[in-house]
Structure 1
Amino acid sequence: MTATIAPHPPSRPRRRVVTAIGVILLLGGLSVIGYFAWQYIGTNLVAKHKQSEIKKQTKIQWEKGVDGDAIAMLRVKRFGSDYEVPIVKGFDDGALARGVGWDPKSEKPGQVGNFAIAGHRVTHGEPFSKFPKLKKGDLVVIETRRDIFTYRLRNSGTSITVPFTTPWPLWRVPHPDARNDTPTERLITLLTCSELFHTENRSVVIGELVKTYDKKEATTTTNG
């Protein structure tokens, strides 16, 4: 009869190493989960609260006859009947966390040239989460303290995709062949990431001004 030799239990140092590795992996996994939870849930909660406060404060300031924390309010029926997001100055991360950002190098709402704005599709309030649903002919409404501007889109939310390094969407005439052209139209350009997660491209939608409503004079004019 052959005797069975029991395996030696792991040495104490070896057990400690295995335990330490397990703890490190567990903490690493929790950190990754925490990061994604913050990015895709936490930042949205914080940003939407900020946007709500900016909207509220801006409208109070408008009623007092002064410009607000936001330069305008954005409304897009395609994004929902109750959709309204503040447009704030800047294209930096801080601005995009507070609403839709406006490129201060571009024109102001309603002016001749290119009024360029950008927003997140995911995280930080995700104001452009439904961007791919935009259709040619959709109306985009921009309300400022004094006026309400209505733009009609010339293309859909998925028809133009360019690398982030492509400059022409921010030109005064947003067209690849119009670098030095003098603008004659009143346009709006909306930009966002073309994919939900890591992407090197952005989607571009361009619209033309079709109506201006002067809130003070309560008159409506249609641009021909």
Structure 2
Amino acid sequence: GLPAPRAGEPFAVLRIPRFGRDWDWPVLEGTAVATLKRGLGHYPGTALPGRTGNFAVAGHRRTYGDPFKDFPRLRTGDAVVLTDGTTRYTYRIARSPFRTVPSDTGVIDAVPDKSPFTRPGRYLTLTTCEPEWGSSHRLIAWARLESTAPATHGKPAAFRS
């Protein structure tokens, strides 16, 4: 796999077909305010794509391009496709979005608390704010890795300069 990304650095592109053909966002390392202005953020200390553990990603519901505006539309079985330049990872949503409070950090544990998962595996957690224009709660969606394949066209367009 690729080396661990540096803070603020983009290292993958996330696509969610449910959100439309043109929906794709860079995933950057970290969840600092400045990072989330530029795309989705990978929670430091959570797994890297395709690895055993939980690859956890935060994104804004509204503001900074509204990446997760349609988050409540996610459904069990939806594909979430992540490409890191060498590999394409396809995850499948395991349950519709779940509402919780910001202090409930167990949702990004290696085996996520309150998720349908009970043993170690290769998981993805997506998090965003709830309600749409507030941040009193969080919406969480969990997915499990279904397949991996070589990335066909090298680094995604978002990384070509």
Residue type of the partner of 2:106? Answer: W
More helix by share: 1
The equivalent of 2:62 in structure 1 is: 122
Residue type of the partner of 1:200? Answer: S
Name structure 1 gaps, 5 residues minimum.
Answer: 1-66, 217-224
For the residues of structure 2 that align with 1:129 and 1:215, how far apart are their CA atoms? 27
Asked whether 1:190 is paired with 2:121, we answer: no
| SS of equivalent residue, structure 2 residue 10 | coil
More strand by share: 2
The equivalent of 1:166 in structure 2 is: 104
Query: What per-residue deviation string (whole Å, max 9, x for no partner) do you get for residues 48-68 of structure 1?
Result: xxxxxxxxxxxxxxxxxxx89
- Report how many aligned residue pairs link the two structures: 144
Name structure 2 gaps, 5 residues minimum.
Answer: 153-161
TM-score, structure 2 as length reference: 0.84
Asked whether 1:208 is paired with 2:141, we answer: no
Residue type of the partner of 1:112? Answer: T
Counterpart contact for 2:110–2:120, Cα < 8 Å: no
Asked whether 1:95 is paired with 2:35, we answer: yes
The equivalent of 2:91 in structure 1 is: 151
Q: Percent identity?
A: 34
Q: Which has the larger radius of gyration?
A: 1
For the residues of structure 2 that align with 1:118 and 1:199, how far apart are their CA atoms? 13
**CA RMSD of the aligned region, Å?**
1.9
TM-score, structure 1 as length reference: 0.61
Off by >3 Å, runs of 4+ in structure 1: none
TM-superposed CA distance for 1:176, in Å, is 4.1
Find 1:107's aligned residue among 47, 50, 55.
47
Query: What per-residue deviation string (whole Å, max 9, x for no partner) do you get for residues 151-195 of structure 1?
Result: 0001113xx111000111121111249xxx8x6310000000121
For the residues of structure 2 that align with 1:147 and 1:199, how far apart are their CA atoms? 34
